[in-house]
């Protein structure tokens, strides 16, 4: 997604159909800040995911765009039009709900026709467009079924057709695949992405599933505690996380706590890590957090020699996961998770002594402010000792 | 007569329901049949409530449609239908408010406020209205004090008092089933409706109301049936003007000792109730059919559900 040619007006707001501008929007529930003054610009035709753990404000943000919640501050523009004060039925957006929320007393066709009927579209035109929409989601044969006679996946398709038939400039999706089983979910991810590309409609997609966000999105807004932690394309989010939280939430990571050195960190467990990706503004001696991706670590059965970015341990477990192999290596103080493509994986057995190495460009160092968020089980980390 | 021992140990599936069916037959069905049978009898003159059945006769029905009794039946139906509709009109907003508008943590308090008056005996509650409606009671005095009226209110012992009393007594029976169905309604369905461009009123008419139709029907039946047979409210608040069929039945059985005529009036009351329910059912079916026609979508190029699948196989 290139953001180069964006039409904006004299206030710097986008004017194109399907654009979304969120400016300083906040939402409180009692004393709790659900959304904390976020800014977000979505280009027309973009597939943007709001990704984060539960309670991060992603669903609240989506619900404010749909009009189900009123923001307590800031403004929201859809296609250049301020919508904060508009009720849901006057906004040019449609929502695909988490539990589909199909009307149980109506057939599939009647559900899909609902939005067009509200706009008093001609009956023949309704029938034609409902037919097209059902064709698009491959549900034509079930047009006369009631929602309760269908599986979750089928209901999901109908919910999608019911929203898309109105031809909204922005489609809001609230964890739409959350209730489907894994295989169906992956199929729907591909289908949804292709549909979005064909229709050119802006999709704002809420999910807590990082894999889903990575595979479908043009850009991902990783949210935490009501603000956007990082907004970037999936590769950047994965390869260049801006914070320890993003590094920990997207994919898996091996973390070390320690003190900063000039070139990396000295972990409390003695491991020396050299990093080419240190967060700026970290002073030597301060408490920091380092992380290395499982696939960036190489396992060898021979000692590669001395130096930094090297840990010796014993292979504790091997799990073949199909195309990749996952190793768990136990050192004196911790366990490391390593993943390698099956064909390149070292031929080692549980109990063998192994060495783990990685490149300085694969080691990230962040300040320790988010330690609690990323270290799921702090007991596996060594507290500072006397040395 | 050899039967597999395994099978003989098993009771049929309806066995567990037998006690309740037995109870139902003995204490509900048999009395109804008895009353219908008695309605064809004749009171033995001078006896203390004895009835003879030879010959069986329709004379009691001829008595029952004489103006003295028939007027009361008409009035009963008027009060019941008006009362049931008033309960719906008053009860629906209350149930809607409790189930949808107020936060869940306040719901218990509101339900409690509705239930607590019901801990008082039905008769006492009804008698309490005599105090409120009395021509020299506090309501009357207060209305005159603030200048709304310049004489005593004359409500007690009228049809209006009975109407007021039955609405008060049966309103909760309307509110509870409505509350339950509205409470079960997924809020996201209303959001989906608004999301698809329906205003709040259209959402109510097209989503909320159709989905709580079972609650409306339950409420209507729960209020209409006992209300039609009620005689305490009429006896306490109605006086001579506000008589209801239930009270006539009671007086025929208990005072006049004419069980045959009492039974005939009771059967006519049952018939009227059934008739009203049948008419309402027919109207709502017709209404539903019209709604379905309006909502129907005929997608061009397709015929019927699953038809294509069937012809493939």
Assign residue B277 the CATH number of its domain.
1.10.3720.10
In a domain, B193, yes or no: yes
A273 and A191 both lie in a single domain: no
pLDDT of residue A169: 93
pLDDT of B1 above 60: no
pLDDT band at B307 (very low <50, low <70, confident <90, very high): very low
A291 and A226 both lie in a single domain: no
Asked if B171 is an interface residue toward chain A (Cβ–Cβ < 8 A), one would say no
pLDDT of residue B5: 53
Task: Return the residue in B296, B299, B303 with the most chain A beta carbons within 10 A, the one to mutate for interface testing.
Answer: B299
Structure tokens at A254: 């091996």
In a domain, A95, yes or no: yes
Last residue of one domain, picked from the residues A239, A266, A284: A239
Task: Give every residue of chain A whose pLDDT is below 70, as ranges.
Answer: 1-6, 376-387
Asked if A316 is an interface residue toward chain B (Cβ–Cβ < 8 A), one would say no
User: Do B295 and A106 count as a contact with CB atoms less than 8 A apart?
Assistant: yes
Q: Which residues 280-299 of chain B have a CB within 8 Å of chain A?
A: 295-299
A268 and A293 both lie in a single domain: yes
Q: In B97-158, which residue ranges form alpha helices assigned H by DSSP?
A: 104-115, 122-133, 138-145
Query: B257-275, pLDDT tens digit by residue?
Result: 999 999 999 999 999 999 9
Burial B137-158 (b: 16+ CB within 10 A, else e): beebeeeeeeeeeeeebebbbb
Residue B275 Cα, gap to closest chain A Cα (Å): 28
Query: How many pairs of residues across A and B have Cβ atoms under 8 Å apart?
Result: 102
Q: How far is CA B57 from the centre of its chain?
A: 32
Residue A58 Cα, gap to closest chain B Cα (Å): 17
Query: B210-259, pLDDT tens digit by residue?
Result: 999 999 999 999 999 999 999 889 889 988 888 899 988 988 999 889 99
Length of chain B: 313
User: Do B299 and A109 count as a contact with CB atoms less than 8 A apart?
Assistant: yes
Question: H or E element: which one contains B183?
Answer: helix B159-184
Structure tokens at B1: 């007569």
Assign residue A268 the CATH number of its domain.
2.40.50.100
A187 and A331 both lie in a single domain: no
Residue A386's CB is within 10 A of a number of other CB atoms, namely 3
User: Do B298 and A127 count as a contact with CB atoms less than 8 A apart?
Assistant: yes
Asked if B184 is an interface residue toward chain A (Cβ–Cβ < 8 A), one would say no
- Please report how many Cα atoms fall inside a 13 Å half-sphere around the Cα of residue A291, on the Cβ side: 29
pLDDT of residue A377: 52
Task: Return the residue in A105, A110, A135, A137 with the most chain B beta carbons within 10 A, the one to mutate for interface testing.
Answer: A105
ipTM of the complex: 0.84
In a domain, B257, yes or no: yes
A90 and A231 both lie in a single domain: yes
pLDDT band at B306 (very low <50, low <70, confident <90, very high): very low
A204 and A80 both lie in a single domain: yes
A97 and A233 both lie in a single domain: yes
* For range B304-309, the mean pLDDT: 44
In a domain, B310, yes or no: no
Asked if A162 is an interface residue toward chain B (Cβ–Cβ < 8 A), one would say yes
Q: To the nearest whole percent, how much of chain B has pLDDT over 90?
A: 60
In a domain, B263, yes or no: yes
Burial A89-109 (b: 16+ CB within 10 A, else e): bebbbbbbbbbbbbbebbbbb
pLDDT of residue B308: 42
pLDDT of residue B302: 62
User: Do B188 and A142 count as a contact with CB atoms less than 8 A apart?
Assistant: no
A276 and A302 both lie in a single domain: yes
pTM assigned to the model: 0.83
The residue written with tokens 């049952």 in the block is B270
Asked if A89 is an interface residue toward chain B (Cβ–Cβ < 8 A), one would say yes
Asked if A88 is an interface residue toward chain B (Cβ–Cβ < 8 A), one would say yes
* For range B170-198, the mean pLDDT: 94
A43 and A185 both lie in a single domain: yes
**Number of domains observed in the structure of chain B:** 1
Q: Is B20 helix (H, G, I), strand (E, B) or coil?
A: helix
DSSP calls for A50-67: EE-STTSSHHHHHHHHHT
User: Do B197 and A166 count as a contact with CB atoms less than 8 A apart?
Assistant: yes
pLDDT of residue A309: 86
pLDDT band at B54 (very low <50, low <70, confident <90, very high): confident
In a domain, A263, yes or no: yes
pLDDT of residue B3: 52
Closest listed residue to residue B217, CA positions, set B169, B288, B115 = B288
Assign residue A98 the CATH number of its domain.
3.40.50.300
User: Which residue in A has a C-alpha nearest to residue B293's C-alpha?
Assistant: A110
**Number of domains observed in the structure of chain A:** 2
Q: Which domain holds residue A262?
A: 254-380
Question: For residue A99, which residues of chain B lie inside 8 Å, CB to CB?
Answer: 186, 188
pLDDT of B309 above 70: no
Last residue of one domain, picked from the residues A206, A239, A272: A239
In a domain, A9, yes or no: no
A233 and A282 both lie in a single domain: no
pLDDT of residue A380: 45
Cα distances from A317 to residues A330, A345, A349, A356, in angstroms, run 9, 13, 8, 14
A83 and A228 both lie in a single domain: yes
**DSSP designation for B10:** P
What are the beta bridge partners of residue A363? A292
In a domain, B24, yes or no: no
Closest listed residue to residue A359, CA positions, set A280, A316, A301, A295 = A295
Q: Which domain holds residue B256?
A: 66-286
Asked if A154 is an interface residue toward chain B (Cβ–Cβ < 8 A), one would say no
């Amino acid at each position: 997604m290139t953001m180069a040619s964006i039409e904006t007006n004299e206030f710097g707001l986008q004017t194109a159909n399907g654009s979304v501008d969120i400016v300083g929007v906040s939402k409180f529930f009692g004393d709790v800040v659900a959304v904390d003054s976020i800014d977000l610009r979505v280009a027309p035709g973009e597939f943007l995911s709001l990704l984060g753990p539960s309670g991060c404000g992603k669903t609240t943000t989506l619900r404010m765009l749909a009009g189900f919640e009123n923001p307590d501050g800031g403004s929201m523009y859809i296609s250049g039009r301020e919508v904060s004060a508009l009720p849901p039925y006057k906004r040019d957006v449609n929502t695909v709900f988490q539990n589909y929320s199909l009307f149980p007393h109506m057939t599939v066709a009647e559900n899909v026709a609902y939005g067009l009927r509200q706009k008093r579209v001609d009956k023949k035109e309704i029938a034609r467009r409902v037919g097209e929409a059902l064709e698009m989601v491959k549900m034509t044969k079930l047009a006369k079924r009631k929602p309760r006679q269908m599986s979750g996946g089928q209901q999901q398709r109908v919910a999608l057709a019911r929203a898309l038939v109105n031809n909204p400039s922005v489609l809001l999706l609230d964890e739409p695949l959350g209730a489907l089983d894994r295989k169906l979910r992956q199929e729907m991810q591909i289908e949804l992405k292709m549909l979005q590309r064909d229709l050119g409609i802006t999709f704002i997609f809420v999910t807590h599933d990082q894999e889903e966000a990575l595979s479908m999105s043009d850009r991902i807004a990783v949210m935490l505690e009501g603000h956007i932690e990082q907004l970037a394309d999936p590769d950047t989010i994965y390869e260049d996380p801006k914070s320890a939280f993003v590094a920990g939430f997207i994919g898996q990571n091996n973390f070390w706590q320690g003190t900063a050195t000039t070139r990396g960190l000295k972990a409390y467990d003695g491991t020396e890590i050299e990093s080419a990706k240190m967060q700026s503004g970290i002073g030597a001696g301060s408490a920091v957090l380092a992380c290395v991706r499982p696939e960036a670590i190489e396992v060898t059965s021979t000692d590669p020699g001395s130096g930094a970015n090297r840990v010796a341990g014993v292979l504790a477990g091997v799990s073949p996961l199909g195309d990749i192999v996952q190793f768990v290596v136990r050192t004196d103080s911790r366990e490391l998770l390593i993943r390698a493509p099956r064909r390149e994986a070292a031929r080692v057995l549980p109990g063998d002594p192994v060495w783990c190495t990685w490149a300085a460009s694969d080691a990230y160092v962040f300040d320790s402010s988010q330690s609690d968020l990323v270290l799921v089980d702090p007991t596996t980390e060594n507290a500072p000792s006397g040395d | 007569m050899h039967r597999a021992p395994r099978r003989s140990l098993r009771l049929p599936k309806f066995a567990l329901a037998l006690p309740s069916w037995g109870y139902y037959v003995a204490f509900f069905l048999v009395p109804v049949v008895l009353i219908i049978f008695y309605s064809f009898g004749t009171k033995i003159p001078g006896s203390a409530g004895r009835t003879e059945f030879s010959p069986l006769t329709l004379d009691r029905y001829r008595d029952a449609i004489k103006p003295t009794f028939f007027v009361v039946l008409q009035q009963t139906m008027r009060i019941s239908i008006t009362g049931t509709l008033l309960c719906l009109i008053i009860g629906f907003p209350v149930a809607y408010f409790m189930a949808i508008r107020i936060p869940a943590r306040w719901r218990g308090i509101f339900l409690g406020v509705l239930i607590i008056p019901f801990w008082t005996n039905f008769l006492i509650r009804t008698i309490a209205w005599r105090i409120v409606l009395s021509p020299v009671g506090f309501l009357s005095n207060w209305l005159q004090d603030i200048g709304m009226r310049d004489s005593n209110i004359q409500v007690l012992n009228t049809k209006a008092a009975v109407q007021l009393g039955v609405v008060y007594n049966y309103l909760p029976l309307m509110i509870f089933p409505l509350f339950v169905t509205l409470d079960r309604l997924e809020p996201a369905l209303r959001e989906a409706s608004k999301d698809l461009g329906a205003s709040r009123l259209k959402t109510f008419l097209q989503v909320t109301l159709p989905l709580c139709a079972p609650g409306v029907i339950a409420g209507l039946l729960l209020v209409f049936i006992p209300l039609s047979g009620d005689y305490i409210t009429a006896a306490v608040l109605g006086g001579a003007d506000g008589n209801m069929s239930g009270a006539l039945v009671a007086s025929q059985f208990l005072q006049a000792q004419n069980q045959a005529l009492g039974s005939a009036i009771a059967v006519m009351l049952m018939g009227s109730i059934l008739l009203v329910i049948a008419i309402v059912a027919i109207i709502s079916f017709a209404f539903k059919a019209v709604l379905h026609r309006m909502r129907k979508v005929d997608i061009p190029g397709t015929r019927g559900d699953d038809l294509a699948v069937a012809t493939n196989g």
